[in-house]
Structures are given as C-alpha cells and as structure tokens.
Structure 1
C-alpha cells in the first residue's frame, strides 16, 4: 500500500484536516475488504462515488472514489473483492481516499494506516532498481511455471482459497502449507498471518504496471502470477520485527522461503514477499 498523503486530523472537528489516508491506485483496480463485514453504504457523497463497509470488529471503512455492485447489508469475507476504484479522486495523481472510524459512539476518525497494518517498508529509488525483475526458478526463489499454465492465467479450478485469508488463492499444496504456517503463527502472535496479496491474475498485473511503472513487473512475468508467492503485512513487512524474525526462523519448515533478492541485503529488498518452494 503506497500512501501518498498521510492521516492528519484537525484538533477540533470543525477545523480543516486530512481525516484519512490517500493511497496510490488506478481507475478499475480491484477494491478488497481489509476485514470481514458487510456493505454499509454505496452511492455518491459530495459528487464522489463512495463505498463504505462495516467490519465485524465494529469499524466503518469508507473508500472514495469507489464503486460496488454489492447491495447494502451484503456480507463478504476478508480479502474478498468488494468493488473497484472509480474515476473522480481529489488527488493530482489517481488515488483512493480511505477513512476509518468506530461504528458506535461519537464519530472520531482513526488512522487507517494502523488499521490496515501498514508499516514502514524499504523502497529502492528507481535508479537502484534492477534492470530485470527477479524471477522464479533459481535456488533462492520458489515461484515458477507449473501445470502447463501461463503466468497470470491459471484457472481458479487449479487453485485453492486460503482458509486463513479468504479471498486470496494459491496452488493447492502452497495453500495447505501456508494455512498450517498461519496456524502456527497465530499460536505465537494471537492473529493469523496478514496477507495483502497472493495470486495475481494478468489483468491485475496490467493495472499495477500502470500504477507503479518501473517498480512493477512486466505483465505476464510477476512471481505472483504463478500462485506461489504472497505479500504479507502485520509486522512481517518490516525487517527486524518479531514477526519477520519468526518467519525467517519458521517459514522454511512449511516450504516457504524469503528469496535472496528480497532480503535486506538483496537486489530488491522486500520484507513482505515470500514464495513457496516444495
């Protein structure tokens, strides 16, 4: 999640301020639920298409500009696609505005970055980005071709949904191993592993390339397009955290590896990126 304007609430409710965060997106990008819940509102607010949800944890999360075909009250699981980013953002560049507040009591905005488990991550300047994207198949990478499928064009019937992160799919052996790992992680941290991305189809790869430019893989080459890679949050996405150290020590027991290129001393440090190597 690339935050382009941070949370900056006013001291008093009637004063100006930024009551949410703005996240870099492109129109048509899928909108996924950060938690299980139901649609609270869909429509227009001050001329901007808006979707808000109420999570099972008792929070309201509002997205602008966004659209959904789901009806008010319709339920969804965490990670499920609940809509798409729409035209009409207020940013100089395309963005999605996210606001969060408690569903009960006096309306007081809270920082969505914390709600989404967003933490500081290492981003390389474009000048340091490798000319070629890291790819699977090497001794330190798990993602690669299988089953005669093309990258990003794997049929849903050939994959399984993560029980610990509904809405995300992987090859079935990778899914089973990940859910076992998440169960062990939950025993240590009292919460399942936070998954921000897993299988990434070709259309989504195209959208991300439009949004991120050189910082995204060429469509049809993403490691996520093999359904054998995940991006993780909740602390795992920060080098040196207790959660990241746990993954380094325990993930290989479940067949999951942190590729050499993604490590802190690698060519493209990504603490959040992990791959399955059977």
Structure 2
C-alpha cells in the first residue's frame, strides 16, 4: 500500500490525519507569502488529549502579514493561554487557526481568501528563529494536516509490510 511521506523522511513515519485523496487538493492557500519554510510539521496525537503537534509552524518575520487561507468568518480573535490567536470558520466544516498573531480583524468579520488577518508576533514556543506562525486546521473535532489541504503531501513510497494473513 502506498502512503504519502514527506520528502526526507523514511517510509511509514508520516501519515496525514486525513487521507489526502478524500480532500480536494489545494483547498486552502498558504497563510504567508511567499510560501514559507516549514519549521515543524504536523504530528497527529494518538488520542484526543495526547501529545502531538496539531498544526505546522511556518518560518516568518515579526510583523509579516498573515493571510486567510480561504473565505470564511472570524469566530475568535483573542488570547488563548496568553497567546494571541485568530480562528476562522470556512465552508465544509473547516476551521483554521493562526498564532501568535496581532489581529486586524474582529469576531464576526467575513474574510476572503488571501485577506490580511493580522501580523505575526515573535515568541512562538519552540520556534528557533525570530518568528514562526503556528497554522492549524480542524474538520469538526479532528485536527488535520494543513499541508494536505494545500496539496503539499510529499512523495509516495511503499510502506514496509510485516506479513500476516
């Protein structure tokens, strides 16, 4: 069985939360321009409250514009655990989140794809450069890999099979 893996990883170490064949390719646009370097990849938790990384961290510059990944409605713009977060609901049950971001939008605002939501702030935990944007996506209660929704699913390799019936 072929599974998608990120370039530079070994087979079987990365499986997106959602099968990319079940998701329209390029459903979302990148929240930073130009397309950023991914500093930390999505790592789906094994249980709803288990450890993992429920989004991707993207290399940014403090003050850089954060763009809406698709048209939608701002449902949150405020602090979560002391960090400024923006959440946008989109058609199809998707919700994108962006942090740390100084908002330029307010709850209830309708936004279009590519609209400036705010600006990246320095200080994202675990970021090894001046600033990183944490970008997360949920479909309902399930966190999904944002890269799978941009069409960035990597190359295909065969997963080792241990045999069996």
- TM-score (normalizing by structure 1): 0.40
CA distance in 1, matches of 2:153, 2:48: 27
Richer in strand (by share) = 2
CA distance in 2, matches of 1:84, 1:118: 24
How far did 1:69 drift?
2.2
CA distance in 2, matches of 1:58, 1:16: 24
Cross-structure match for 1:43: 78
Cross-structure match for 1:92: 128
How far did 1:113 drift?
0.7
How far did 1:119 drift?
5.0
CA distance in 1, matches of 2:154, 2:37: 10
> Counterparts of 1:128-167 in structure 2 under 5 Å?
none
- Residue pair 2:71, 2:111 contacting (<8 A) in 1 also: yes
Cross-structure match for 2:103: 68
Q: Which of 137, 141, 144 is residue 110 of structure 1 equivalent to?
A: 144
- TM-score (normalizing by structure 2): 0.66
Question: Which structure is larger by alpha-carbon Rg, 1 or 2?
Answer: 1
- Residue pair 1:70, 1:82 contacting (<8 A) in 2 also: yes
In structure 2, stretches of 5+ residues that fail to align are 1-35, 156-165
- Residue pair 1:34, 1:116 contacting (<8 A) in 2 also: no
Structure possessing the higher relative contact order (Cα contacts under 8 Å, 6 or more residues apart): 2
Alpha-carbon RMSD across the aligned residues, in angstroms, is 1.7
> Counterparts of 1:1-278 in structure 2 under 5 Å?
1-90=36-125, 91-93=127-129, 94-102=131-139, 104=140, 107-120=141-154
How far did 1:58 drift?
2.2
CA-to-partner distance for each residue in 1:174-209, whole Å, 9 max, x for gaps? xxxxxxxxxxxxxxxxxxxxxxxxxxxxxxxxxxxx
How far did 1:16 drift?
1.0
CA distance in 1, matches of 2:93, 2:48: 21
CA distance in 2, matches of 1:82, 1:73: 13
Q: 1:14 to 1:119 in 2, by over 3 A?
A: closer
In structure 1, stretches of 5+ residues that fail to align are 122-278
CA-to-partner distance for each residue in 1:12-68, whole Å, 9 max, x for gaps? 122211111111111100011111111110111111111111112321101111121
